[in-house]
Amino acid sequence: MSYCVNCGVELDISAHKCALCGTAVYNPNENVTEQREAPHPFSEHVHLPDELSPYGRKKLILAIVTTVMAIPNIVCVLLNLTLFKSNPWSLGVISGTLFLWSAFVLPFATKRPFPYILWTADSILACLNALVFVWLYGDMELFIECLLPVIVSCSACVLVYMLWYKKERHIILKIAFVFLSLSFALLFSGIILNAAQVFAYGTEIGIICFVSLFAVACFFFYCYSSKTIRRWASKRFFF
């Protein structure tokens, strides 16, 4: 028999506190390992709220990135309106940021990718950014003879890659075609810069970039032709 040390009432042998006054029961003859452990006040697992789904978390990250990109633009506009009033240079910062946001942030803002819509938006914003640059620091002939052809050639290379990418391709083949498209884009850009007399060595540098990147593309095409390397890449990379 055991009794409560506080009120003296008789206790059940399995009781851990007095049924009358609630005083904790301590039995010196009971093994310590057999005593109940107090529950931990905090859960060991972190439970995210239901509204924070994977898409919800992505939207939260996109909102933070957009805010971070918008803050420097607001600061530049305020500085342009108060201290540095020589020309509206902040418009160039805004147009450049819009192009970067459209190219690197907007693709992750939707559940389903819309590549052709994104390609159109990027091309238009690139032209807008070039127009703002010409309006601030150059003339319209520079845009027509140089910047616009460069943007069109690069956009055409990207479009060709998108059309080729529609079918399921091996990862090595995707990398090879990226370097191949980039080599042609740089070659066309160099030729255009040289023809517009903007950069005297544009053609030479374009040819150097083309040959270098084309060689890299050929290396990846060779890797794709090797069954051993292709199987290893399929096991190592899952995209």
- pLDDT at residue 35, rounded to an integer: 46
pTM here is 0.58
Using one digit for the tens of pLDDT, what is the confidence trace for 170-191?
778 888 888 888 898 888 888 8
Q: What is the 3-state secondary structure (H, E, C) of the chain?
A: CEECCCCCCEECCCCCECCCCCCECCCCCCCHHHCCCCCCCCCCCCCCCCCCCHHHHHHHHHHHHHHHHHHHHHHHHHHHHHCCCCCCCHHHHHHHHHHHHHHHCHHHCCCCCCHHHHHHHHHHHHHHHHHHHHHHHCCHHHHHHHHHHHHHHHHHHHHHHHHHHCCCCCHHHHHHHHHHHHHHHHHHHHHHHHHCCCCCCHHHHHHHHHHHHHHHHHHHHHHHHCHHHHHHHHHHCCC
63-94 pLDDT per residue, tens: 888 898 899 899 999 999 888 888 888 888 88
* Most confident of the following: 65-69, 135-139, 161-165, 227-231: 65-69
Q: For residues 128 and 166, which has the higher predicted lDDT (pLDDT)?
A: 128
What value does the mean pLDDT take over residues 128-156? 84
Residue range 88-127, pLDDT digits in tens = 888 888 888 888 888 888 777 777 778 888 888 888 888 8
List pLDDT tens digits, range 150-168. Answer: 888 888 888 888 888 777 7
